[in-house]
Amino acid sequence: MIRMTNLWPAPVAASPIIHTVAIPGSKSMTNRAYILASLAEGESTITGALRSRDTDLMEGALAAMGVKFAHEGDSIRVTPGELSGAEVDCGLAGTVMRFVPPVAAFAQGPVLFDGDAYARKRPMSTILDALRQLGVAVAGETLPFTVHGRGHAEGGEVAIDASGSSQFVSGLLLAAARFDRGVTVVNTAGILPSMPHIEMTLAMLKDAGVHVEAIGQRWRVDPQPIKATHFAIEPDLSNATPFLAAAAVTGGRVRVPHWPLNTTQPGDVIRMILERMGCHVELYADGKDYTLEVQGPEPGGLRGLRLDMSDIGELTPTVAALAALATTETELTGIAHLRGHETDRLAALTREINNLGGDCEELPDGLRIRPATLHGGTWASYDDHRMATAGAILGLVVEGVEVENIGTTAKTLPGFEVMWDEMVRS
């Protein structure tokens, strides 16, 4: 049931946005670092970590099982300990509900997982059945479920259908080195969405000294130590995309400092997308660092595009908002798996864009968005952080847009609405 309370009047940009915004750390990297540090042989440190609902839920889950976290300014010390039974609140965090169950296999006792109401609808059988194949006792098929940890787990080879989420593969690989026989993961589906997130997992495992043999869609990890290390977290590039979109839709200029020159984050692809839609995009050296600058086109210059987003599905709400304001048709494909995200994002985007007078058609694996004149109205967020930011983008140039529950952005970017207001006023 959609709640139309806590409506936030999206601020309209009276002139082109000119702004520089610093983006906090990557949620995806932060939560992977938390898992690896919790399973390592010794104390690790993490700098630049994101503090948000999703990362707090991850820290809370691991702390409940016995991992110690010490926050000292921008640094976090993570000290592993003997894992114990616990109760874990997953909220709506996919990384918690899919990364933590393999860790729970090494707890001494049962670990009960539950979460928000919608989280109970998210697909979980892939990771739970995989754990059973690896010798772990699991009760349940969706949230709530219980992993009955015995302090160790056998491991071996497991075949899974990971077409619903790359998180199933990452969750198994992050803990694989701790299994008695290691773990070999084989994706039987042929389709694997968000491959950059797998590459991120592999890169961070390498940083922790874990060797992974990867051949096609088969990954093998032998039993080996996970080394204590230092993880430096990059800015969250996906969280940067709404601010860059603000330049695109207002004909303005937005800069994001500390943009990584080389990264596994799928959010980096926004550079190519904005160029194809008519923006001028430049990544330039700024001392020892790099800054990304996006200059939006003149009014009427924002173009639609055809794009396979199978590897970059998390950018879909931002790109769909841009497409709703473009002067030519857009077709986004390869994103059927978004029906299993925080909400059914394909249905939600179609409903909300059309509610504002847009022309959005849901496809079997994506969206087709045609030019239309938008008007004000209520934009439902479905408790989905990226739906909320998509509504804010449209509200920059469409008067009278009210976004329901803008506070849901705290899932990955606490204070978003304050940052957004500061940008519009700058």
32 is in an annotated binding site: yes
Mapping DSSP to helix (H, G, I), strand (E, B) and coil, where does residue 40 land? coil
Is there a binding annotation on residue 122? Answer: yes
Neighbours of 415 (CB within 10 A): 12
Residue 94 annotated as binding?
Answer: yes
Judge whether 303 is annotated as a binding position: no
Is 120 labelled a binding residue? no
59, 234, 314, 417: the catalytic one is: 314
Q: Is 310 annotated as a binding residue?
A: no
The Cα-based distances of 278 to 272, 319, 386 in angstroms read 10, 13, 23
Check: CB of residue 248 under 8 Å from CB of residue 302. yes
CA distances from 281 to 254, 255, 273, 294, 299 (A): 10, 10, 10, 5, 17
Dihedral pair phi/psi, residue 3, rounded to 5°: -95, 125
Q: Classify residue 391 as exposed, middle or buried by CB count within 10 Å of its CB (0-12, 13-18, 19+).
A: buried
Cβ burial, residue 219 (10 Å; 0-12/13-18/19+): buried
Q: Per the annotation, does 163 bind a ligand?
A: no
Cβ-in-10-Å burial (0-12, 13-18, 19+) of 116 comes to middle
Q: Does the annotation list 386 as a binding residue?
A: yes
Q: Is 148 annotated as a binding residue?
A: no
Could you give the CA distance from residue 311 to residue 314 in angstroms, rounded to a whole number?
Answer: 9
Active site residue 399: no
Catalytically annotated residues: 314
Binding residues for phosphoenolpyruvate are 27, 94, 122, 167, 345, 386, 411
Binding residues are 27-28, 32, 94, 122, 165-167, 194, 314, 341, 345, 386, 411
Binding residues for 3-phosphoshikimate are 27-28, 32, 165-167, 194, 314, 341
